[in-house]
Amino acid sequence: MRFFYIFLLTCLGAPIYSSGQISWTFGGGVIQGAINTNQLNSFAESFNDYHKGVGFKPLNDFKPKMNSLFFSTGFRYFPSEKKSGITYSVLYRFNKYKQKNETTLLQGSGYDINYWAPYHDFLFELGYSIKDRVSLSAVLGLAINFHTIEIWKVYANGDRSMGNENNLPGHYVGLSTPLEYGLSAGIKLNKILIPIRITHSRSFLNVMGTEDEFGVFIDYTKEYKWRSKELPLDYKKWSNERVPPIDNGINSGALYGLRISVGIEYQLNLSK
């Protein structure tokens, strides 16, 4: 908390100690995320072990690396043209990761699994700009990520269903709020900025579900499931027990990792 106060006072005081320019910025680019998919793959592994047999097409591992386009906007402060000094920014960034998985069971039916996660990043950067051309900053922020796993039952005739005739299909949602921290570098060419950002995320608060279900993927589309509304970490254990096992849900807060982005921004000067 002390670091936050120092950071805030420095940002507010920067224009006082050196004349500079405040700009509204907007742009986009490409981002690669590497998330921890260990819990998702534990589900896939236990699912495959439970259904294994001749003619069974298993689930693939969920990929830890995903690429996406991103959009960003916010405000940046730079020293006056051709001067060196403190630079800081307050930014919002949005991107969406997604991937698919599927399996075929012995009788010809199967499941389609779609995973997607909109990332809403609120980033604060504080650093130093050299001659209003090159900058290096520390990054600190908070992300709000809605992880969604949609599971469809696929019948042998091609029909798809998310109804109550099967317990696993559903629209599972988990919310995570990881802390983002890292470094960013920028190359400024007049009104164009090329930012390169490397951050790591680590979840410290999960707020989806009831008091006993923080961060767990839960199917909110159905009022009743005879096993559990949670997406199971151990599918084999979940299938063999009539009573839902305790602490067997996949936690969206575990889906954190390294993120690298390269973009381009346009700066609209708001200073007088």
- pLDDT tens readout for residues 150-172: 999 999 888 888 877 778 888 89
Percent of the residues in the chain that have a pLDDT greater than 90, as a whole number? 40
How confident is the model at residue 88, as a pLDDT?
Answer: 92
Mean pLDDT of 235-259: 77
Give strand pairing partners of 94.
71, 120
At 165-209, the pLDDT tens digits run 778 888 898 888 888 999 999 999 888 999 999 999 876 554 444
Percent of the residues in the chain that have a pLDDT greater than 70, as a whole number? 83
250 or 136, higher pLDDT: 136
Mean pLDDT of 125-136: 91
At 9-24, the pLDDT tens digits run 444 444 444 467 899 9
* DSSP secondary structure string for all residues of 161-193: E-STTSSS-EEEEEEEEEEEEEEEEEEEETTEE
How confident is the model at residue 3, as a pLDDT?
Answer: 46
Residue 229 has pLDDT above 50, yes or no: yes
Q: pLDDT band at 272, cuts 50/70/90?
A: low
Question: Distance (Å, rounded) from C-alpha 102 to C-alpha 172?
Answer: 16
Residue 1 has pLDDT above 50, yes or no: no
How confident is the model at residue 204, as a pLDDT?
Answer: 59
Residue 246 has pLDDT above 80, yes or no: no
Distance from chain centroid for Cα 186: 23
- Phi/psi for 148 (5° steps) reads -130, 135
How confident is the model at residue 37, as a pLDDT?
Answer: 87
Mean pLDDT of 112-138: 92
The answer for residues whose C-beta is within 8 angstroms of residue 23's C-beta and 6 or more apart is 75, 76, 77, 78, 267, 268, 269, 270, 271
> SS3 for 62-114, per residue?
CCCEEEEEEEEEEEEEEECCCCCEEEEEEEEEEEEEEEEEEEECCCCCEEEEE
CB 238 within 8 A of CB 248: yes
Q: Quote the pTM value.
A: 0.81
Q: Are strands 65-79 and 110-130 parallel, antiparallel or unpaired?
A: unpaired
How confident is the model at residue 7, as a pLDDT?
Answer: 47
Question: Distance (Å, rounded) from C-alpha 124 to C-alpha 127?
Answer: 10
How confident is the model at residue 4, as a pLDDT?
Answer: 44
How confident is the model at residue 156, as a pLDDT?
Answer: 86
How confident is the model at residue 245, as a pLDDT?
Answer: 61
CA-based R_g, the chain, Å: 23
Residue 89 has pLDDT above 90, yes or no: yes
The answer for residues whose C-beta is within 8 angstroms of residue 122's C-beta and 6 or more apart is 91, 92, 141, 142, 143, 144
